[in-house]
Amino acid sequence: MSNLAVLPILLPLLAGIFAAFIHKKTTVVRTVSKMLAVINLLVVGFVFIKVKEQGSIVLEVGGWDAPFGIVLVGDLLSMTLVLTTNIIAVASVFFAPQSLSEKEESYYFYSFFFLLITGVSGAFLTGDLFNLFVFFEVLLMASYGLIVLGNGKVQLRESIKYVLINLFSSMLFVTTIAFLYSVVGTVNMAQIAVRVQEVEQQGILTTIAILLFFVFATKAAVFPLYYWLPRPYISPNPVVSALFGALLTKVGIYSILRTFTLMFNQQVELTHTLFIYLAALTMIFGVIGALSTHNIKLIVAYNIIPAVGFMLMGIGIFTEVSISGTIYYLVHDMIIKGVLFLLAGAIAYVAGTSDLRKMGGLIHHYPVLGWLMFLASLVLAGIPPFSGFIGKLQLIRGGVGEEQVMIIIVALISSLLILFSMIRIFIRGFWGEKTDIPFPERKRRGNLMALPAAALLTLSVLLGVGAEWFFPTIESISQYLMDPEIYIDSVLKE
Amino acid sequence: MEFIMAILAGILFTTGVYNLLQKQLLRIIIGTGLISHGAHLFILTMGELKRGAPPVLSEGIEQYTDPLPQALILTSIVISFGVTSLLLVLAYRASKINGTDNMEQLRGNDYE
Amino acid sequence: MLVAVLLPFIIAIFIPFLSRWKDKLHTGFFVTIVPVIIFIYFVRFLGTGFEPIVQEYSWIPSLDINMVFHLDGLSLLFVLLISGIGSLVAFYSVFYLHKSEQLGHFYVYFLIFMGSMLGVVLSDNVFALYSFWEFTSLSSFLLIGFWNYKKESRYGALKSMLITVFGGLSLLGALIFMSVLTNTTSIQGMIDQQQLILNNEYFPLILTLLLLGAFTKSAQFPFHIWLPDAMEAPTPVSAYLHSATMVKAGIYLVARYSPMLSANEWFFIIVSTAGIVTLCWGSYMAVRQTDLKGILAFSTISQLGMIMAMLGFGTKVAIFGAVFHILNHATFKGSLFMIAGIVDHEAGTRDIRKLGGLMTFMPITATLAVLASFSMAGVPLPFLNGFYSKELFFDASLHLEAASTGFTGFFMTIVPYLAVFGSIFTFVYSMYFFFGTFRGKAHLEELPKKPHEAPIGMLVSPIILVAGVILIGLFPNVVNEPFIAHAAESVKGMALEEKHLKFWHGIVPPFIMSLAVLVFGTILALSRKVWTPVYRFVPGVLSANKVYDGLVDRVESYSETITKGYMNGSLGRYVRLILAAIIVTTFAFMAITGGFKIDTSNLSQITAPEILVAVTMVIAAIGTALTNNRIAAILILGVVGYGLSMLFVIYRAPDLALTQLIVETVTVALFLLVFYHLPKLRKKDEPVSTKVLNLIISIGFGSLMTMVAISSHSSKLFDSIADYFVKNSYKLGGGDNIVNVILVDFRGLDTLFEIVVLGIAAMAIFGLIRLRKTKGDE
């Protein structure tokens, strides 16, 4: 039973290796990858249901007792995120053949893809800080492989920046783990939590916690550490952008969420107040970025940042209500960012440009793309009753409960500006006089690209309209996170 | 001794960061190399230095050096090696294709 | 009631299919049926014995968001307006919109709007209300942008969306505040616990947010600017959304919350001031317009201001007048919009300077126009409903119930004058609308089309509305008792004594005010030409439009400036900023929490070999930064690496030493291989300031890490888990080399994935070297 926890890591790992062996046969690897991604999703769905019904699954890898060996903790939070990850994965794998060239596909796209999923799932599941570092490296290395795929001029240029910043933050990460090990003598997250609690998070521990926060914040793109993000995210192929936008920053946010609910929860008025201010700045500068450009892909990429601000806001406010908002937002944002990057990619493809100033009147030729984009913009901006709204509602409710007026006002204004930045794509790109269709030969492929995005978007709408099906689960995760003893007991079995 | 090692590692970080802030790719990558050396030295130092024999079990020895940091460093060395190799090849390709190895010329403002 | 609200949405789904047959049968016919059914359903509730009805359907109970419909007098008034005017407009649009238009789109938006608007006025759950509220903004956005090939349409659509969604979000803020304070999501529940809200320290904020929502939606000064630009929408839309229903959502909201809020003095001041200012400004601006729909748009703004002001006054007469005027305004303004549409349709222009003398060509339309516009002007005739509500307004303005000191007192004295002032201009533009269009000399040569009477189908709806104007004018008490009184009661929050409307009250102050309006209005209208230069001149630079345009343009250009300022693609810049943030914050936290500690009791001995190695490494590390020879730089880096492996030997880590040695050798070889192909190192030619900055940042970061390291070492608070590995390495792991046992056994997962990392790196490198883009393959 507890072995189930390894499946979400093991299956994509095997799939990745398998795909590497057959990488030259493009059609075969394509079909097989689609199948494997779907199978993986089904398995993960099964594990999720098990966890939901029977509680966390804790796997002591190799049979070594925690805290000495490595543990994988499949709790409801991890499994929810792993499940969402795999949903994105399936949509991406169906989008990929439309947007990649055969050559790119044959140079290990599918291997990198599955290994990225491996790394992300591993990061969500592991209960060991150093092992988290290792999974970070897996997903980063896979992302390096993906970002350089195609070897375009711009792409390589941006990749270097991406690799360097991440390399630096990895080194900082591993050093910080060492500091923490020196103080508490362990790298097991549950045991760290126990020990930090025992000494009431002394000064040095808070300092280390802040360093750790910065490591994760660099990955999550929190102000003022997100500079590296927008351009490298849009330089590779759209499907890669979608994977990055949907998954990578969220791993950072997840890590902050886990670290600061489980381990460093003793100096809330210090650390979490910092988060609130950073969240506000992240939202402001993020939307300013999104408004600064006419490049649709860049608009979408910049919109990752305010979303991170929203999620951080919930962690900063630190009540059951606000944390439930963060988790809802996390799931929502993974899906909608996937949708938006896929759509932006499809639009840029059919228009032959991603510059809004060179577009117009696309709705006459691509009504489906246009309406999907319109709907996706609403979902992103948190218009009710779509999924963005539920998260935002809980975040603001939490904020009101704690009388954090500043962040509430910033959040509301950001929502408006997010909508403004997105609706420009619809108004300037789709509305307008009917012109001749640009690149008529791209019509079929362009519409095929819309399919996976439409499927994800449907889910996103359901997540809002049918919130009743999801929210109780999210709420129970939030209660669970605010009571770290449950996690600690399940791992250390004391 | 631990303090001296901490200072040494700090100096490695300092020079590493200084190199990282330069324009030329080669210097930048050398900078990352220095930083990872510094990081590994920090890990080692954090495990208490010279408190016993090398962590290989042998008769009659009770006190061993903390083996866990060593294991962590080993993992980290291998990973850094992988990343550095990739970075080197990437740097090579990027500067070939863009015709410069000066990061200031690799800013790229052609998106807006 | 759920069915009634959802019906438009459900039908909207089928519209795209129905619109396929639009060549045979205009889609509008199907659509007209929907509001008619809803109207018939709700009209049954009318009557003197009406009691509020509540129906609940659960939606997201775990978040306390449910479909709770609360039908009281106020809701009923709005529901009947929405469905009644909706039926007439839908029918009118059949003749207005040609079959070649994208009818499917039009009617989908139309129905979505109708459903949402019904939802707004029926929902008792604040979040359901907010959802519907935003949907009215969105459908309005889509309808204004219906002819989106026109630049003005796109501009107007964006403007209305930004302003109304801004208001919507601020409303959301207020609603969440109130719902958290009272722990309920029901409006009635909030009103029942009003003390919790009124006495809260955040009440001013809540009030501001709530009113922002209402004022933006109901186009109150200075947020009115979106409404004139919304006239780019097809005329049926203007008649429906932008005069009769959607713009009254803000009024509805204020009315809905007024049982609670009217207890507060600020509510009185803000709402009355906004209303009066809007009334005057709107009616004055309307006089300046030359576009028929422009006149009507500003007229709507001013009438909304009047209703808002009456809600602000909060007296019984005022509330009654407000509710009555909501109905009256819908009748005469709706018909005027339709008339403007007919003129546009049949004469080809809405420019009043080109129009004139149309009475002979379109007598029926002209008759309707004269009745509707005279009613709007408040001309004292016993068969025009506008006069009654106008007189209630004057009456209310004379009998304010509030403190008579300070600003409030001053305000109370000027209100009647302002009321008359605004009404004079109302009179002027009403006359201008009618006489400018239908009387005077016709300039047929300037008209794009030869004008003629509209088809009968197009006239049906305005005729019904004008009939309403007259019937209400003749028998005001027929609608009063079963209908308006209930609505007024739910606004006031208590039963009102019977208000019997009469035409003639004798020579009382309100009547004198009406006469003054009539006299001055006539003078101004007759001498219009004299005043034209003044009308041109006065608003000038002070226009809120300019502020909006400036804001919107600047938001983009400033964003660009700000973002380009720091996101310039320079890696050095990014790293500097990131590091500066980390250094400053972490040091600050260290200082605040007292995180720095030095404890020298737990240190190992200092010996010469280590010092020697360390010094060598320091020199080498600094050397990398100084040398300008690439081979030298790489080799010096090698020296640092080998130094590190020496340290590993000294510190009893044989495995590490060995690995480090091998890895370092391979890395140096790789470095040399790759950089053989790259340009030589150049002298660093950056300015001294940059050098100093770089130096400060790197030293700052290095010392930060050192300090944290020393503190961490000095505060070893717990025993390490390492003993377990030493004890069990042989017993359980079966190996003597503890590090190896940890790697392959205790922490085997790390090692597995470390190998995976190497594997991915190998594939990526392979791809980097082998995959070349063919030209043009982007």
Task: Inform me whether the C-beta atom of residue B68 falls under 8 Å from chain A C-beta atoms.
Answer: yes
How confident is the model over C5-30, as a mean pLDDT?
Answer: 82
A211 contacts in chain B (CB < 8 Å): none
Is residue B15 one of the residues assigned to a domain? yes
User: How far is the first Cα of chain A from the last one, in angstroms, to the nearest whole number?
Assistant: 20
Nearest to A141 among C719, C757, C778 (CB): C757
Residues 69-88 of B with CB under 8 A from C: 70-71, 73-75, 77-79, 81-86, 88
Pairing of strands C65-71, A57-60: unpaired
Task: Inform me whether the C-beta atom of residue B91 falls under 8 Å from chain A C-beta atoms.
Answer: yes
* C-alpha distance from B60 to closest chain A C-alpha (Å): 25
Given a cut of 50, is residue C76 above it in pLDDT? yes
Q: What is the pLDDT of residues C207-227, one digit of tens each?
A: 999 999 999 999 998 888 899
C747 contacts in chain B (CB < 8 Å): 71, 75
How confident is the model over A268-278, as a mean pLDDT?
Answer: 90
Cα–Cα distance measured from residue B15 to residue B35, given in angstroms and rounded to the nearest whole number? 8
Residue predicted with more confidence, C563 or C76: C76
Do C575 and C708 reside in the same domain of the chain?
yes
Do C701 and C577 reside in the same domain of the chain?
yes
Lowest mean pLDDT among A473-482, B34-43, C42-51, C271-280: C42-51
Given a cut of 50, is residue C776 above it in pLDDT? no
Do C714 and C729 reside in the same domain of the chain?
no
Cα–Cα distance measured from residue C400 to residue C391, given in angstroms and rounded to the nearest whole number? 15
* C-alpha distance from C310 to closest chain A C-alpha (Å): 30
Is residue B44 one of the residues assigned to a domain? yes
Task: Inform me whether the C-beta atom of residue B109 falls under 8 Å from chain C C-beta atoms.
Answer: yes
Check: CB of residue A356 under 8 Å from CB of residue A428: yes
Check: CB of residue A5 under 8 Å from CB of residue A59: yes
* Number of domains, chain B: 1
Do C137 and C34 reside in the same domain of the chain?
yes
pLDDT at site C778: 39
C729 contacts in chain B (CB < 8 Å): 57, 67
Nearest to A141 among B46, B82, B90 (CB): B82
Task: Note whether B79 contacts C754, CB cutoff 8 Å.
Answer: yes
Nearest to A69 among C63, C747, C759 (CB): C747
Do C618 and C749 reside in the same domain of the chain?
no
Q: What is the pLDDT of residues C673-719, one digit of tens each?
A: 887 777 666 666 678 888 899 999 999 999 999 999 999 988 888 88
Cα–Cα distance measured from residue A351 to residue A301, given in angstroms and rounded to the nearest whole number? 19
Given a cut of 60, is residue B110 above it in pLDDT? no
Given a cut of 80, is residue A278 above it in pLDDT? yes
* Number of domains, chain C: 4
Check: CB of residue C76 under 8 Å from CB of residue C4: no
Is residue C129 one of the residues assigned to a domain? yes
Q: Distances from the Cα of C630 to the Cαs of A437, B93, B102, C635, C698, in angstroms?
A: 54, 18, 14, 9, 22
Given a cut of 70, is residue C579 above it in pLDDT? yes
Cα–Cα distance measured from residue C505 to residue C516, given in angstroms and rounded to the nearest whole number? 17
Cα–Cα distance measured from residue C504 to residue C387, given in angstroms and rounded to the nearest whole number? 11
pLDDT at site C402: 64
* C-alpha distance from C65 to closest chain A C-alpha (Å): 9
Cα–Cα distance measured from residue B17 to residue A168, given in angstroms and rounded to the nearest whole number? 9
Task: Note whether A202 contacts C595, CB cutoff 8 Å.
Answer: yes
Residue predicted with more confidence, A335 or C493: A335
Given a cut of 60, is residue C498 above it in pLDDT? no
Nearest to C595 among A165, A186, A204 (CB): A204
How confident is the model over A258-269, as a mean pLDDT?
Answer: 90
Mutation site, B83, B92, B107, B110, interface A, largest A CB count within 10 A: B83
Do C662 and C765 reside in the same domain of the chain?
no
C577 contacts in chain A (CB < 8 Å): 224, 227
| Tokens 């028998």 found at | C475
Is residue B39 one of the residues assigned to a domain? yes
Residues 74-133 of A with CB under 8 A from C: 101, 103-104, 107-108, 111-112, 115, 118, 122, 130-131
Task: Give the residue from chain A lying closest to B29, CA to CA.
Answer: A164
Nearest to C750 among B75, B106, B109 (CB): B75
Q: What is the residue type of A297?
A: K
Q: Rounded to the nearest 10 degrees, how much is the dihedral formed by the CA atoms of C236, C237, C239, C243?
A: 180
Return the partners of chain C (3 or more C-beta pairs < 8 Å).
A, B
How confident is the model over C236-264, as a mean pLDDT?
Answer: 89
How confident is the model over C74-98, as a mean pLDDT?
Answer: 91
A82 CA to centre of own chain: 10
Task: For residue A134, give the nearest of A172, A165, A174, A161 by alpha carbon.
Answer: A174
pLDDT at site C732: 83
Q: Could you tell me the pLDDT band of residue C411, with boundaries at 50, 70 and 90?
A: confident
Task: Note whether C763 contacts A145, CB cutoff 8 Å.
Answer: yes
Q: Distances from the Cα of A412 to the Cαs of A360, A405, B33, in angstroms?
A: 30, 11, 45
Q: Could you tell me the pLDDT band of residue C540, with boundaries at 50, 70 and 90?
A: low
Is residue C532 one of the residues assigned to a domain? no
Residues 4-63 of B with CB under 8 A from A: 20, 25, 28, 32, 35-36, 38-39, 42-43, 45-47
Residue predicted with more confidence, C448 or C684: C448
Lowest mean pLDDT among A107-121, A416-430, B42-56: B42-56
DSSP secondary structure string for all residues of chain B: -HHHHHHHHHHHHHHHHHHHTSSBHHHHHHHHHHHHHHHHHHHHHHT-SSSSB-SB--TT---B--HHHHHHHHHHHHHHHHHHHHHHHHHHHHHHHHT--BGGGG---TT-
Record the tokens describing residue C405, joined without a space.
């000191």
* C-alpha distance from A223 to closest chain C C-alpha (Å): 9
pLDDT at site C441: 78
Output the CA torsion sign for C749, C754, C760, C766.
negative
Is residue C768 one of the residues assigned to a domain? yes
Given a cut of 80, is residue C22 above it in pLDDT? no
Q: What is the pLDDT of residues C274-292, one digit of tens each?
A: 999 999 988 888 888 888 8
Task: Inform me whether the C-beta atom of residue A368 falls under 8 Å from chain C C-beta atoms.
Answer: no
Given a cut of 50, is residue A135 above it in pLDDT? yes
Residues 6 or more apart whose Cβ sits within 8 Å of residue A181: A187, B43, B46, B47, B68, B69, B72, C720
Check: CB of residue A388 under 8 Å from CB of residue A379: yes
Task: Note whether B21 contacts C605, CB cutoff 8 Å.
Answer: no
* C-alpha distance from B57 to closest chain A C-alpha (Å): 19
pLDDT at site C49: 75
Taking the CA of residue C751 as centre, how many other CA atoms within 13 Å lie in the half-sphere pointing to its CB?
15
Task: Note whether C751 contacts B75, CB cutoff 8 Å.
Answer: yes
pLDDT at site C416: 87
CATH code, domain with C655? 1.20.120
> Does this model's pTM top 0.80?
yes
Lowest mean pLDDT among A305-309, C265-269, C532-536: C532-536
Check: CB of residue C290 under 8 Å from CB of residue C352: yes
C575 contacts in chain B (CB < 8 Å): 17, 20-21
How confident is the model over C484-490, as a mean pLDDT?
Answer: 82
Mutation site, C557, C559, C656, interface B, largest B CB count within 10 A: C656
Is residue B74 one of the residues assigned to a domain? yes
* C-alpha distance from C118 to closest chain A C-alpha (Å): 16
Given a cut of 70, is residue B101 above it in pLDDT? yes
pLDDT at site A297: 92
Lowest mean pLDDT among C262-271, C322-331, C555-564: C555-564
pLDDT at site C43: 86
Q: Between chain A and chain B, how many beta carbons pairs sit less than 8 Å apart?
A: 104
Given a cut of 50, is residue C777 above it in pLDDT? no
pLDDT at site A151: 77
Range of the domain at C548: 541-568
Return the partners of chain B (3 or more C-beta pairs < 8 Å).
A, C
Do C547 and C578 reside in the same domain of the chain?
no
Residue predicted with more confidence, C554 or C37: C37
pLDDT at site A380: 93
Task: For residue B1, give the nearest of C272, A490, C710 by alpha carbon.
Answer: C710
Do C638 and C553 reside in the same domain of the chain?
no
Task: Note whether B108 contacts A160, CB cutoff 8 Å.
Answer: no
Q: What are phi and psi of C24, to 5 degrees?
A: -80, -45
Is residue C290 one of the residues assigned to a domain? no
Q: Between chain B and chain C, how many beta carbons pairs sit less than 8 Å apart?
A: 279
Cα–Cα distance measured from residue C83 to residue C17, given in angstroms and rounded to the nearest whole number? 23
Given a cut of 50, is residue B111 above it in pLDDT? no
Residue predicted with more confidence, A1 or B19: B19
Neighbours of C734 (CB within 10 A): 9
Nearest to B95 among C569, C571, C678 (CB): C678
Range of the domain at B35: 2-51+65-101
Mean pLDDT over the full length of chain C: 86
* C-alpha distance from C381 to closest chain A C-alpha (Å): 47
Record the tokens describing residue A208, joined without a space.
């280390």
Task: Note whether C62 contacts A472, CB cutoff 8 Å.
Answer: yes
Task: Give the residue from chain C lying closest to B77, CA to CA.
Answer: C660
CATH code, domain with B90? 1.10.287.3510
Cα–Cα distance measured from residue A414 to residue A229, given in angstroms and rounded to the nearest whole number? 19
Is residue B81 one of the residues assigned to a domain? yes
How confident is the model over C520-540, as a mean pLDDT?
Answer: 72
* C-alpha distance from A256 to closest chain C C-alpha (Å): 16
How confident is the model over A162-175, as a mean pLDDT?
Answer: 94
The DSSP symbol for A168 reads: H
Given a cut of 60, is residue B109 above it in pLDDT? no
C743 contacts in chain B (CB < 8 Å): 71, 74-75
Is residue B19 one of the residues assigned to a domain? yes
The secondary element (H helix, E strand) that includes residue C350 is: none
Task: Inform me whether the C-beta atom of residue B98 falls under 8 Å from chain C C-beta atoms.
Answer: no
Given a cut of 70, is residue C497 above it in pLDDT? no
